[in-house]
Amino acid sequence: MGDHHHGPAKGLSRWLFTTNHKDIGTMYLWFSFSMFILGGAFAMIIRAELFQPGMQLVEPAFFNQMTTLHGLVMVFGAIMPSFVGLANWMIPMMIGAPDMALPRMNNWSFWILPPAFLILAGTLFMEGGAPNFGWTFYAPLSTTYAPPSVTYFIFSIHVLGLSSIMGSINIIATVMNMRAPGMTYMKMPLFVWTWLITAFLLVAVMPVLAGAVTMMLMDIHFGTSFFSAAGGGDPVLFQHIFWFFGHPEVYIIILPAFGVVSQIIPTFARKPLFGYDSMVYATAAIAFLSFIVWAHHMYTVGMPVAGELFFMYATMLIAVPTGVKVFNWVTTMWRGAMTFETPMLFCMGFLVLFTIGGFTGLMLSIAPADFQYHDSYFVVAHFHYVMVAGAVFSMSAAVYYWLPKWCGRMYSETMGKTHFWISFIGFNIAFFPQHFVGLAGMPRRIPDYALQFADFNMMSSIGAFIYGASQILFLYNVVATIVAGKPTSEAKTWEGAEGLEWTVATPAPYHTFETPPQVR
Amino acid sequence: MTTQSSTEYEKYYVPEKSKLAVCATIGLILSTFGAASVMNDMTFGDGATTGSWGIFWFGLFFFSATLFGWFRMAIKENRAGLNSAQLKKSYVLGMFWFIFSEVMFFLAFFGALFYVRTLVGPWLAGEGEGGRMNHLLWEGFNYQWPMPLTPQEAVGGVANQPVANMGTFQSYEQSMAFGEAAAWYLWLPMWNTIVLLSSSFTVHVAHMGLLDGNKRKFNIWLGITVALGMLFVALQALEYYEAYAHFGLTLNSGIYGSTFFMLTGFHGFHVVMGMTMLLIQWLRSVRGGHFTADDHFGFEASSWYWHFVDVVWVFLFLFVYIL
Ligand code: HEM
Ligand SMILES: [Cu+2]
């Protein structure tokens, strides 16, 4: 062990063998960004094909592989690991811990991700092509009719699940066990709270996903009949198991984003967060409810009416705690001394657009209405409002907010704001029209469409290209900051910022809080 | 907001750089990639060997060796006194939530079982709201559990199946349920239950011995526990043999066979894991003289795992064998 005030090792071994939460956080963040680019490239292919009606660029079979891989890569490769990276960087610094609770396992959780995605992306080059059954991989498309590469898909899901489970166990142990003296639960920053609850969700549902893919594997290779009615099973069983994982999964994606926004808005409103306690309870309520609403994705499979009603009312209930959160954010800003630096802009964008996504969610939760909306572009619009303008916007906000603390350099505010506005505009041009084509009946996951949808689809594609291009600007801005940004050594980058992470030096030293601070 | 206080704080041990994670990654990825290739060769291949078994075994060996080294190192660190009380608590939390995740894994399979038994079966037989298609698809199928005759066979086999489906699902002669055995004392699951429940008891006695500082008692009762675990696995293997050889009950026997083998199979796999863990603790104690009355987390964690496996069995016994 020796001396404790040492810096990082030199060269590649630093990254391969590290046990340092900041190194691991950095790797997670870069990895997730590269997946964001990869998934984005798939999306560009989708939007290019949909630019005009008719088949222009790709084969329908390849189009299906693109929608599938786009969804999988974005959910499991871009969004989830990016928040895990953020958790790694920030949670120990926010609660005054020297590192994550189980540092070697932490490194392992990260390192199994890249090869798993290599295998997943590698299926593109396999005989029969990549998985083509959508990111929700419904049986029997993903069993009876799947390409052989499905087996590799199944095992990569297993590995991703393992990574998430270990990562969450680490977060739970860190938060429950490593808080500095005086850092009681109800003093924890909201980002820590939302991640703690997210980690519980992950430990609870990733194993269920593992169960679902295991049943698929057995059906495909070993003759079981979980998802085959001929043997007494049921394809709809797959959907139940998948969505028992899948709905909590969407909250796994959005809760850390809620946490980020709850950190940033008070900073730039220069007021403490309104209703801290109710934020914590609302988060817990959302997490609890997320376990009993899964079948709102299955209104059209022919459930008994009692089921439809139960899941409809339970789903609507989620709007209550979500409303509490939106109310609290808005009230935090009320009469605040507001400024609009880039992180704040992204949070405001989040607030407006996520709320729109919440409302479309509410529309979708009405079972009889959903009979019309289901599997249309309206659903695509809904979940891109919550996942892109929700999770991804908040992630951009987080990067701008903490980047100066991470690397001791200030990003270019002009470029940051430009990034925001292009993203915001591009995003809305891309996804707002999808509400209309969806309501008018355009189905999702289809490479061609009827002529009356042509104009809106062209708009959508143009918006998507704009949004995609703005991410290159983001990358450039971040790299330029790290390499040549204006150095800053102020501990508190933002005058309104609160929290332990702003008490350590800037850039944050390799090891922080080796002796815990005393929180009053 | 904060002041530094270093008074009477036990340092949290943050390990130095370590190759363990990368080695474990190589092992895990090679073994999963190998396993996937083995299965694809089997199902979609043309009989040519692609070396996939080699990749699988090499990966698995590498993975196991790394895990062995990993645990060895963790044990050494503890014995070298590096682990503060706080770090020990991290291990406790880690183990607890790991077991919780395992519970959720089993829940998926139990959930499938309940769903099939209470909803799917009756629907396929034309009952209730989900049963309206019966006359088009599975005319003549009657639902009972265990399900000796699959819907496919009820309509006269694959050829008469109105919808495409993968595989043939055959009937079996005898299920594992209570009451189908020739005599109650020939009903293996009962013996299995007795064996496994007693092993939970013996591991508890071993723990009591350790807490009293009585290492001899500990070693003996832990040894008995491991032996009971082995007996359970042997009986389970016998049951599988009977199912395949005499009862015609296989993975292909429709949803009854699927749920039966997957639930008991995963449970059996966990028994083997738990038994291996306990065996290692036993070896540590007998050969290495490890464990004291107040420092024996390796054993405690293994015994929690063992109790968990036991509880799962109780549910299995109830829902797979009896009800
Ligand atoms: C007020 C809260 C929300 C409600 C009431 C809600 C409701 C719904 C409903 C009913 C559907 C099914 C639509 C259909 O397939 O016909 C749906 C789909 C979806 N929602 Fe939400 N939602 C909410 C928030 C969110 C959030 C926060 C996220 C993620 C960050 C999200 C992600 C998704 C996704 C990914 C799908 C589509 C899944 C697919 O079929 O591929 N939703 N939502
Ligand atoms: Cu949902």
**What are the pLDDT digits (tens) for A58-105?**
999 999 999 999 999 999 999 999 999 999 999 999 999 999 999 999
pLDDT at B164 over 90: no
Gyration radius of chain A's alpha carbons: 23
Q: Cα separations (Å) of A170 from A14, A76, A220, B215?
A: 21, 18, 34, 33
In 3D, which of B32, B101, B94 has the Cα closest to residue B63? B32
**What pLDDT is attached to residue A10?**
80
**What pLDDT is attached to residue A118?**
97
Residue B56 lies in a domain: yes
Q: A136 CB less than 6 Å from ligand 1?
A: yes
Residue B295 lies in a domain: no
State mean pLDDT over B286-295: 89
State mean pLDDT over B301-313: 96
Residue B188 lies in a domain: no
Q: A380 CB less than 6 Å from ligand 1?
A: no
Residue B38 lies in a domain: yes
Cβ(A109)–Cβ(A25) under 8 Å?
A: no
In 3D, which of A404, A405, A357, A397 has the Cα closest to residue A381? A357
Residues pairing with A487 in the sheet: A409
State mean pLDDT over B285-299: 90
**What pLDDT is attached to residue A1?**
37
In 3D, which of A21, A165, A158 has the Cα closest to residue A101? A21
Residue B299 lies in a domain: no
**What are the pLDDT digits (tens) for B29-46?**
999 999 999 999 999 887
Interchain CB distance below 8 Å, A168 and B97: yes
- Helix extents (H) in B243-318: 254-288, 297-316
Q: How far B40 CA sits from the closest chain A CA (Å)?
A: 7
Q: Which residues of A are catalytic?
A: 70, 99, 135, 163-164, 247, 249, 251, 262, 296-297, 322, 325, 444
Residue B40 lies in a domain: yes
Between B14 and B37, where is the model more confident?
A: B37
**What pLDDT is attached to residue A2?**
39
**Residue of A261, A383, A388, A435 to test ligand 1 pocket, by largest number of atoms within 8 Å of CB:** A383
List of chain B residues whose C-beta atoms are within 8 Å of the C-beta of residue A147: none
DSSP label at residue A366: S
ipTM value for the complex: 0.94
pLDDT at B3 over 50: no
Q: A296 CB less than 6 Å from ligand 1?
A: yes
HEC string of B201-229 equals HHHHHHHHHHHCCCHHHHHHHHHHHHHHH
- Our CA angle for A25, A29, A33, nearest 5°, is 170
In 3D, which of A456, A494, A384, A499 has the Cα closest to residue A70? A384
The length of chain A is: 520
Burial of B81 (0-12, 13-18, 19+ CB in 10 A): exposed
Cα–Cα dist B207/A160, whole Å: 36
Number of domains chain B is built from = 1
Interchain CB distance below 8 Å, B151 and A240: no
Residue B217 lies in a domain: no
Instruction: Sort residue B81 into left (φ over 0), alpha (ψ -120 to 50) or beta.
Output: left
How far is Cα of residue A60 from the mean position of the Cα atoms in its chain?
28
Burial of B80 (0-12, 13-18, 19+ CB in 10 A): exposed
Closest residue by Cα to atom 21, ligand 1, is A361
Residue B78 lies in a domain: yes
pLDDT at B180 over 80: no
**What are the pLDDT digits (tens) for B45-83?**
877 777 899 999 999 999 999 999 999 999 998 888 888
Domain that holds residue B28: 17-82
Residue A244's closest chain B neighbor by CA?
Answer: B108
Average pLDDT by stretches of 10, chain A with 520 residues: 59 90 96 97 97 95 97 97 97 95 95 97 94 95 94 97 97 96 95 97 97 96 93 94 97 97 97 96 96 96 93 95 96 95 97 96 96 97 96 97 96 96 98 97 95 97 97 97 94 93 93 88
**What pLDDT is attached to residue A386?**
96
Does B29 contact A at CB distance below 8 Å? yes
